[in-house]
C-alpha cells in the first residue's frame, strides 16, 4: 500500500508516514431509503404519543378491569391448607427452584408472578401429591412463559427435564401441562403485582432503585402464606410505599392511586424482610437490580442497632454509700447521722416525750419552717421531774443553746 503525506497539512518529515483513506469513501444512502427511515422514526414517535394519550384516557377503565380480573383469579389459601401431602414448609424449596429456573431462562418478571399464581390456583382445586409438586411448578412455568414471554426464551421440555434431574419423563410434563390448563378452565390471564406496580409508578419519574426494591419485597411475599390470597393491587401499592420509606424517598400525593395502600399490608410486608431466601437475595444483589438486597440488608442493620441502643442512665441523686454530712458547702442533701450527740444545729424536742414534765407540751415544734419529729428524746438530754415546767424548759434551752458559728441546719 502506498503511503503519502498531503503537503498542505504536514511538513516534510522522514520519521513517519501518514495513511490516508481517500480511497475508501463512505457509501451515500439512497435518498429514497433515507426518506423512508425518517418516516419510520416519525411513525414510532407518533405511535408513542398516541399510546400515552390513550393510556391516560382509558386508565380508569383499565384499572377497573384489572381489579375485576384479580378478584376472579385469586387462589384460595384455605383450600391449600387442607392438602394431605404438600405442606407450607415445602413451598420455599419449590420457589427457590422456580426462581433459579426463571433467572436461568431470562424470563420477564411477570412470568414468575404468573407462574406462582397458576401453581396456587391449581393447588386450590386439585389434590397434589408430594412427588408431583415440582412437576406442577414446572408445568406452571411452562404455561406462563408461553402466555406472555418472548418465544425464543420459552424453556423446552428437555431443559426442564434436565433441571429436574430426569425425575419426570417427557410425557409427564405434557400431561401435567394439559391437566393444569383443564383444571383452571383455560383461564390463564391474571393481573400480576408487577402490572399494578407499573400503574402505580406511571405518574412519577423513573427511579430504578425504588422499583427494584418493590419487586424484591413482592418476591419475598411469595414465600409466605398470609400473602397468597392478598389482592395484587394491595401488595403492589404497599410494597411501593415501603420501598420509598426504606430508601427515604417522598411518598406520592394522597390523590394518586398509588397512595391508597393498606397500612396493615405494609406492616405485614415489613415484618417479613429480615430473613429472605438466599437465592432471592443473591438474585437482587446484582447490578441489574441496583443491588437492592444489599441496600435492604444495610437498612435492617441500622434499624437493629438503633433498637438495641440503650441511653446511659442518669446518676443517682442519693448514692448507695453516703458519708455523713459534715457541714461542707456544696454537698447534696445532708444525710441522717446515727449519733445525735454529734449533730450541729438546732435540735428539735420530741413530740411526745416520756417525761411527765412535758406532758402538757405542744405536739409539734418547728425549726425555721421545717417540722422534725422524734419519737424518743436524745440520749444526752436530762429531764428534771422535780422542777416546774418553766424551769425544766429553761434547763432544756440552756443545755441545747445553738452555737453562733454554725450556719447550716440539719434535719431528719
CATH label of the domain that carries residue 122: 1.10.472.10
User: Are 316 and 333 a contacting pair, CB within 8 Å?
Assistant: no
Whether 211 and 242 map to the same domain: the answer is yes
Whether 177 and 200 map to the same domain: the answer is no
Helix (DSSP H) and strand (DSSP E) numbers for the chain: 15, 2
Q: How many residues does the chain have?
A: 412
Whether 267 and 239 map to the same domain: the answer is yes
Whether 160 and 231 map to the same domain: the answer is no
Residue 252 domain-assigned (yes or no): yes
Residue 238 domain-assigned (yes or no): yes
Whether 136 and 227 map to the same domain: the answer is no
Whether 156 and 228 map to the same domain: the answer is no
In a structure prediction context, what are the per-residue pLDDT tens digits for the chain, which is 412 residues long? 444 545 444 455 555 555 555 555 656 777 888 888 888 888 888 888 887 777 777 777 888 888 888 888 889 899 988 888 888 899 999 999 999 999 888 899 899 999 999 999 999 989 888 888 989 999 999 999 999 888 888 888 888 888 888 888 888 889 999 999 999 889 888 888 988 888 888 877 888 888 899 999 999 999 999 898 888 888 988 888 888 888 888 887 776 777 778 888 888 888 888 888 888 888 888 888 888 888 888 888 888 888 776 667 666 555 545 455 454 444 445 455 544 444 444 444 444 445 444 444 444 444 444 444 444 445 544 444 444 544 544 554 455 455 444 444 444 3
Q: What is the pLDDT of residue 382?
A: 47
What is the domain extent for residue 198? 193-307
Residue 263 domain-assigned (yes or no): yes
In degrees and rounded to multiples of 5, residue 217 shows phi and psi of -65, -40
Residues in a beta bridge with 371: 366
d(CA 404, CA 308): 57
Q: Examine the fold and report which residue of 136, 166, 184 is the final residue of a domain before the chain moves on.
A: 184
Whether 215 and 290 map to the same domain: the answer is yes
d(CA 123, CA 120): 5
Residue 198 domain-assigned (yes or no): yes
- Distances from the Cα of 134 to the Cαs of 24, 176, 267, 339, in angstroms? 61, 11, 32, 87
User: Are 242 and 217 a contacting pair, CB within 8 Å?
Assistant: yes
State the virtual CA torsion across 399, 400, 403, 407 in degrees, nearest 10: 180
Q: What is the pLDDT of residue 314?
A: 66
Q: Examine the fold and report which residue of 159, 184, 209 is the final residue of a domain before the chain moves on.
A: 184
Q: What is the pLDDT of residue 20?
A: 56
Q: Give the cell for residue 135.
A: 412437576
Domains: count for the chain: 2
Q: What is the pLDDT of residue 371?
A: 43
Residue 302 domain-assigned (yes or no): yes
Q: What is the pLDDT of residue 300?
A: 84
Residue 39 domain-assigned (yes or no): no
DSSP letter (8 states) at residue 366: E
Residue 401 domain-assigned (yes or no): no
Q: What is the pLDDT of residue 25?
A: 61
d(CA 400, CA 381): 9
Q: Give the cell for residue 326.
A: 459534715
Whether 286 and 218 map to the same domain: the answer is yes
∠ CA 394-400-403, nearest 5°, is 125
Q: What is the pLDDT of residue 14?
A: 53
Q: Examine the fold and report which residue of 307, 340, 367 is the final residue of a domain before the chain moves on.
A: 307
Q: How far is CA 362 from the centre of its chain?
A: 71
Whether 253 and 172 map to the same domain: the answer is no
Residue 105 domain-assigned (yes or no): yes
- Distances from the Cα of 356 to the Cαs of 72, 362, 378, in angstroms? 99, 13, 16
Whether 133 and 238 map to the same domain: the answer is no
Q: What is the pLDDT of residue 99?
A: 92
Whether 123 and 175 map to the same domain: the answer is yes
Whether 205 and 303 map to the same domain: the answer is yes
Amino acid at each position: 500500500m502506498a503511503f503519502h503525506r498531503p503537503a498542505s497539512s504536514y511538513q516534510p518529515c522522514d520519521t513517519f508516514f501518514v495513511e490516508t483513506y481517500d480511497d475508501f469513501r463512505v457509501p451515500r444512502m439512497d435518498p429514497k431509503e433515507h426518506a423512508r427511515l425518517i418516516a419510520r422514526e416519525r411513525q414510532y414517535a407518533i405511535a408513542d404519543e398516541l399510546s400515552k394519550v390513550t393510556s391516560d384516557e382509558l386508565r380508569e377503565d383499565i384499572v377497573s378491569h384489572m381489579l375485576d380480573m384479580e378478584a376472579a383469579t385469586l387462589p384460595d389459601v384455605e383450600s391449600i391448607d387442607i392438602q394431605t401431602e404438600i405442606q407450607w414448609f415445602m413451598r420455599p424449596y419449590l420457589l427457590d427452584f422456580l426462581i433459579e429456573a426463571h433467572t436461568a431462562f431470562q424470563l420477564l418478571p411477570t412470568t414468575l408472578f404468573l407462574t406462582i399464581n397458576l401453581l396456587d390456583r391449581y393447588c386450590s382445586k386439585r389434590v397434589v401429591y408430594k412427588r408431583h409438586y415440582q412437576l406442577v411448578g414446572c408445568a406452571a412455568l411452562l404455561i406462563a412463559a408461553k402466555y406472555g414471554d418472548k418465544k425464543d426464551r420459552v424453556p423446552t421440555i428437555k431443559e426442564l427435564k434436565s433441571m429436574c434431574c430426569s425425575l419426570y419423563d417427557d410425557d409427564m410434563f405434557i400431561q401435567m401441562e394439559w391437566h393444569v390448563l383443564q383444571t383452571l378452565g383455560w383461564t390463564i390471564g391474571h393481573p400480576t403485582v408487577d402490572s399494578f406496580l407499573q400503574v402505580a409508578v406511571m405518574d412519577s419519574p423513573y427511579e430504578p432503585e425504588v422499583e427494584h426494591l418493590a419487586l424484591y419485597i413482592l418476591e419475598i411475599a411469595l414465600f409466605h402464606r398470609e400473602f397468597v390470597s392478598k389482592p395484587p393491587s394491595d401488595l403492589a401499592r404497599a410494597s411501593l410505599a415501603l420501598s420509598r420509606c426504606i430508601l427515604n424517598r417522598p411518598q406520592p400525593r394522597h390523590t394518586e392511586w398509588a397512595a391508597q395502600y393498606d397500612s396493615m399490608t405494609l406492616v405485614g410486608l415489613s415484618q417479613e424482610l429480615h430473613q429472605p431466601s438466599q437465592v432471592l437475595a443473591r438474585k437482587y444483589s446484582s447490578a441489574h437490580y441496583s443491588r437492592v438486597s444489599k441496600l435492604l440488608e444495610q437498612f435492617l442493620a441500622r434499624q437493629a442497632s438503633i433498637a438495641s441502643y440503650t441511653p446511659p442512665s442518669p446518676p443517682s441523686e442519693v448514692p448507695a454509700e453516703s458519708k455523713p454530712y459534715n457541714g461542707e458547702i456544696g454537698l447534696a442533701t445532708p444525710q441522717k447521722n446515727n449519733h445525735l450527740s454529734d449533730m450541729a444545729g438546732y435540735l428539735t424536742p420530741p413530740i411526745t416525750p416520756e417525761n411527765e414534765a412535758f406532758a402538757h407540751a405542744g405536739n409539734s415544734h418547728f425549726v425555721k419552717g421545717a417540722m422534725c419529729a422524734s419519737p424518743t428524746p436524745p440520749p444526752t438530754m436530762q429531764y428534771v421531774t422535780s422542777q416546774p415546767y418553766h424551769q425544766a424548759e429553761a434547763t432544756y434551752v440552756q443545755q441545747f443553746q445553738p452555737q453562733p458559728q454554725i450556719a447550716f441546719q440539719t434535719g431528719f
